Structure 1
Amino acid sequence: MIGLAQLLRQYQPDLRSQCPMEDRHHWALQNIIDCHSSACGEMVFQCKDCRQDQHAYHSCGHRSCPSCQHQANNLWLDRQRQKLLPVEYYMVTFTLPSQLRGFVWHHQRWAYQALFKCAVETLMSFGHRDKQLQGDLGLTGVLHTHSRRLEFHPHVHFIVPNGGLSKDKHRWQQKHGKYLFNGRALAKVFRAKFIDTMKQHGFSVPNTTPKQWVVQCQHVGKGDAALTYLARYLYRGVINEQNILKHENGQITFRYKESNTKQWMTITEPAVQFLWRVLQHVLPKGFRRTRDYGFLHGNAHKTLKRLQLILRVKLPEQTTAQRKKTERLCPCCGHPMRVIPFVKVRQTSRLRTIN
């Protein structure tokens, strides 16, 4: 398997000089290169009986690194599974048109925040006006900035359970059948809200901005499969290293699954172009990619518990969150090993390497 760290280490001079990298891209690049190396710090295990030593290097912990953060993915998925209800679920996807992608690229923090805000307001307004629902929805939103080809394509997915708590707090109200909202109607309201938000903050709207935007609203069954899909890209970056197929003569070949045909396709391009295709999706520092709203918000814990009682929910076991750490055994005698003091690399010394 061709590792992303290996490629970044080889092509980092060209990448730094040829691509419009900001501090967050430099920091992600250095973290991925340093992951599981002495640059991230070292832990030493020692056997109590035969005094055998073993050395282990820390992971970088960066959310764009494909070599770590697996535990973080599983923990998020476990938390979301604790909120699942025995009802039908929908995935609603709000996509910004290509004519606004240049604006979004140069104002990412603001634009992503506005994307979440306008999409949530749109869904909540539809939930309040719907005659069968008439209340707040529960939403779990995840921001994606990439297409399947790893191009810059900002959009946000929402997992939405079909229904909500009645105004008297005693009944679950839901829509019948496998239809939630009309995608075109959602897109019309979302477009108006986003453009109005841009104007309120002094941004000009490009004349080429289309009248018709795209919002997809599709039935996804019981929700677990959709959450598992979204969890793949929360951490560990936008590409699975198994999809990097070939590295020859400065060219990289990677594969992706085409959205319409579901067939695997390949792209071959210069290594620097491929690496920037991956690194461009590093989010602004501290920006939260996933957010919960309505009765799924962290502050609505009591409301969610009430719903789970009404619907007689049997919660799944939290296998990942409650898993105990496995003891490291000595390869010589098989007895447990203990951790002895180790030195952690100072962040300032790592920062100097990327400046």
Structure 2
Amino acid sequence: MSFKGIKNKLLRFKSVFVTHWISFTIKHPRYNKPYYHSEIKKMMDCGSEALGFATFQCLSCGKGEHTVNFSCKGKACPQCGKRYSRESMEKIASRLLPGVNYRQVVLTLPCEFRNIFYNHPQQGALYSELMSVGHACLEALIQDLLLCNTLKIASIVFIHTHGRNGSYNPHLHILLGEGGLNPETNQWLPISYLPLGRLRLKWQAHLLHFMAARIGDLNGIIKALWVKHPDGFYAHPGNGKKVPTKHYRGLLKYLIKYLASPPIGVSRISCVSDGYVSYYYQSHKSKQREYERVEAEVFIGRMVQHILPKGFQRIRYYGLQATASFKKWYEIIAMAVGDLVDGMISYVSRLKYCDFFREVAGRNPLVCTFCGDDMELIRLYHPDRGVFYDIFAP
């Protein structure tokens, strides 16, 4: 899609909020708070001069000029989500263990728990504990399968709060190392198969015990869920895949793409008219493209309900992946699996604007189209500070 096409779709997405955001917050006071207003305003101003800008100019010929409007880095912004996903993918890739196969495991919540999570006054804390329970479940399962109750596993947990049509459906995607390390012998014990039946029952037990301890029996809901699901809760054990190579990108891109941007991308919106929004999504059930037409305020609700609490980390590292001890385990596992490598995969903390632009558009915007020389930064503007850098200022 051309930049013009992307811009038009982005404007159409923002027009829904321009017209209906205020009326939406009046009808739904839980979102009529400074935090949500701030996130929506950042999204509306993203890519405009309102957030500040940098100007580059070709000093060789004086003709070429390019202005970069600063991004908002907001949780509701479909523009900033692309860059966040790209950088997160590189960061996670640098944290994968050498010689270890990874698989994607999915753990879901029964529908009876969705309203409890959605309306909980400490939603962020509940999400955090859920992610930890997901790791504990898989560690207990692998310990049982490998007959070693001291085994440590490697897991990176992602929380997704929506289904493909944008409706509220919190669930976990876990990038799981296939096996575990016996810390007493420093021996890596591989595993290539997770039995679905045992996974489902193990997840049910861990989740229901957690909810009972955290929330209570909820008028008999937990007791009823034991009976209603004799085979356990829905889960997917995933398929093993050699990830610490060039093959990791597709899997990581899938896991990350919905973490920072709205669940319905601007390219999927087909029509905005008469107070309604039409869009499509790829259905899990039918395996086909399906279409929905909803009121604009319903659409806004589906977008903003996934704005998680300020500072909440949607990606967490557990066990052998834990930040505090990762380097230590990395070196031990490299020796244990016999896959010595030249250090960890490098991680570039932030992709340069010109490099990211080149990935998307196939050209460097900071090269003068008139003479081919590199442009130079000549001016910086911030809305709170005004012009604070200008090479031509006296």
Q: Give 1:302 deviation, angstroms.
A: 1.6
Q: Give 1:259 deviation, angstroms.
A: 0.6
Specify the alignment match of 1:100 in structure 2.
113
User: In the alignment, is the contact (CA less than 8 A) between 2:87 and 2:350 conserved in 1?
Assistant: no
User: In the alignment, is the contact (CA less than 8 A) between 2:196 and 2:235 conserved in 1?
Assistant: no
Determine the C-alpha separation between the residues in 2 that align with 1:319 and 1:90: 22
Aligned match for 1:231, one of 248, 256, 270: 256
Q: Give 1:274 deviation, angstroms.
A: 1.0
Q: Structure 1 residues 131 and 45, CA, compared in 2 at 3 Å: closer, same or farther?
A: closer
Q: Report the number of matched residues.
A: 344
User: In the alignment, is the contact (CA less than 8 A) between 1:32 and 1:62 conserved in 2?
Assistant: yes
Q: Give 1:290 deviation, angstroms.
A: 0.5
> Which residue identity lines up with residue 113 of structure 1 in the other structure?
S
Map residues 294-309 of structure 1 onto 2, 5 A cutoff.
294-299=319-324, 300-309=326-335
In structure 2, runs of 5+ residues without a counterpart are: 355-363, 386-394
User: In the alignment, is the contact (CA less than 8 A) between 2:40 and 2:76 conserved in 1?
Assistant: no
TM-score of the aligned structures, taking structure 1 as reference length: 0.86
User: In the alignment, is the contact (CA less than 8 A) between 1:90 and 1:180 conserved in 2?
Assistant: no
Q: Please give the secondary structure, in 2, of the residue aligned with 1:130.
A: helix
Determine the C-alpha separation between the residues in 1 that align with 2:70 and 2:219: 47
In structure 1, runs of 5+ residues without a counterpart are: 348-355
- The answer as to 2:383 corresponding to 1:345 is yes
User: In the alignment, is the contact (CA less than 8 A) between 2:146 and 2:189 conserved in 1?
Assistant: no
User: In the alignment, is the contact (CA less than 8 A) between 2:164 and 2:263 conserved in 1?
Assistant: no
User: In the alignment, is the contact (CA less than 8 A) between 1:6 and 1:33 conserved in 2?
Assistant: no
Specify the alignment match of 1:174 in structure 2.
190
User: In the alignment, is the contact (CA less than 8 A) between 1:183 and 1:215 conserved in 2?
Assistant: no
Aligned match for 1:247, one of 254, 272, 291: 272
Q: Give 1:317 deviation, angstroms.
A: 6.1
Q: Please give the secondary structure, in 1, of the residue aligned with 2:128.
A: helix
TM-score of the aligned structures, taking structure 2 as reference length: 0.78
Amino-acid identity (%)? 22
- The answer as to 2:159 corresponding to 1:146 is no
Specify the alignment match of 1:79 in structure 2.
91
> Which residue identity lines up with residue 292 of structure 1 in the other structure?
Y
User: In the alignment, is the contact (CA less than 8 A) between 1:93 and 1:157 conserved in 2?
Assistant: yes
Determine the C-alpha separation between the residues in 1 that align with 2:314 and 2:53: 30
Q: Give 1:261 deviation, angstroms.
A: 2.5
Q: Please give the secondary structure, in 2, of the residue aligned with 1:158.
A: strand
Specify the alignment match of 2:139 in structure 1.
124
- The answer as to 2:353 corresponding to 1:310 is no
Determine the C-alpha separation between the residues in 1 that align with 2:75 and 2:285: 29
Determine the C-alpha separation between the residues in 1 that align with 2:49 and 2:290: 37
Aligned match for 1:336, one of 374, 377, 391: 374
1:21-67: CA deviation from partner (whole Å, max 9, x where unpaired) = 14332222111111001111121112223434432211111133111
> Which residue identity lines up with residue 329 of structure 1 in the other structure?
V
> Which residue identity lines up with residue 232 of structure 1 in the other structure?
K
Q: Please give the secondary structure, in 1, of the residue aligned with 2:380.
A: coil
Deviates more, 1:34-43 or 1:130-139: 130-139
Specify the alignment match of 1:8 in structure 2.
17
Determine the C-alpha separation between the residues in 2 that align with 1:266 and 1:240: 14
Aligned match for 1:45, one of 40, 44, 56: 56
Aligned match for 1:275, one of 300, 308, 316: 300
Higher helix share: 2
> Which residue identity lines up with residue 301 of structure 1 in the other structure?
K
Q: Please give the secondary structure, in 2, of the residue aligned with 1:283.
A: coil
Q: Give 1:122 deviation, angstroms.
A: 2.3
The CA RMSD measured in Å over matched residues stands at 2.8
Q: Give 1:253 deviation, angstroms.
A: 0.8
1:301-342: CA deviation from partner (whole Å, max 9, x where unpaired) = 121232134331658965866966647123333322211232
Deviates more, 1:42-51 or 1:241-250: 42-51
Q: Give 1:216 deviation, angstroms.
A: 0.9
Q: Give 1:266 deviation, angstroms.
A: 0.5
Q: Please give the secondary structure, in 2, of the residue aligned with 1:144.
A: strand
- The answer as to 2:82 corresponding to 1:70 is yes
> Which residue identity lines up with residue 54 of structure 2 in the other structure?
M
User: In the alignment, is the contact (CA less than 8 A) between 2:47 and 2:71 conserved in 1?
Assistant: yes
